[in-house]
Amino acid sequence: MVGAKVTVTLEGTGARDTALSNERGDYIFPTLRPGTYSIDVEASGFRKAQVKALLVEINQRARQDFSMQVGEVQQVLDVSATATTVDTFSGTVKEVVDSGRVVELPLNGRNALQLQALLPGSIQMGTGSAASGIALNTNIVFSVNGARPNSSAYTLDGGLNMDGYH
């Protein structure tokens, strides 16, 4: 739908951002911070559509589609859904290890890099020297989805967190 008003609200702070859908009905919010959001979509002659408790993680391209129903502006259509975790924009494979897993799961020596073994497609390649891995101060080496162990990137709070590329 062209020209629908899309409003995202960060539930923790109430911060809002608004955009209009383009000629294909697409909308984008390129600078959302990680957090839990609600999304409201409004268009003249249609019921308001709403999604609540949508989790947006670091480095995620979340996609939330809406179906607008003809109706009065006062009527609200509440949609309960989650954003797709499949990145339909690029071939990038990524995963977020959230703070809950870091705090709750037992880690030998509190090395959070060990949590990478929980992620789909990630295989520990044994141990290696610091030169064979790319994570700082570790000898843990992983291959992700068949890629070379030195082809991964590690970020912390959205910033690069690596010893360097080899």
Alpha-carbon gap, residue 42 to 64, rounded angstroms: 15
Q: Which sign does the torsion angle of CA 139, 161, 58, 92 carry?
A: negative
Spatial separation of the C-alpha atoms in residues 124 and 163, rounded to whole Å? 18
Question: 71-125, pLDDT tens digit by residue?
Answer: 765 556 566 555 555 566 666 666 777 778 778 887 777 777 778 777 788 888 7
- Tens digit of pLDDT for each residue in 24-76? 989 999 888 889 999 999 998 888 899 998 888 887 888 888 888 887 655 56
- Give pLDDT, residue 42: 92
pTM of the model as a whole? 0.49
End-to-end CA distance of the chain: 47
Query: Would you state the pLDDT for residue 67?
Result: 84
As given in the structure block, the two tokens for residue 74 are: 């006062």
For range 138-151, the mean pLDDT = 76
Q: CB neighbours (10 Å) of residue 41?
A: 23
Check whether 158 has a pLDDT greater than 70: yes
Euclidean distance between CA atoms 48 and 67, whole angstroms: 10
Query: 22 or 82, which is more confident?
Result: 22
Contact (Cβ atoms closer than 8 angstroms) between residue 113 and residue 133:
no
Torsion, Cα of 39, 43, 49, 52 (10° steps): 10
The pLDDT confidence band at residue 9, using thresholds 50, 70 and 90, is very high
pLDDT at residue 8, as a whole number: 96
Whether the CB-CB separation of 158 and 152 falls below 8 Å is answered with no
Helical (H) or strand (E) element with 28: none
**Domains of the chain, start order:** 5-79 (2.60.40.1120), 99-160 (no CATH)
Residue type at position 88: T
**Across 140-161, average pLDDT:** 76
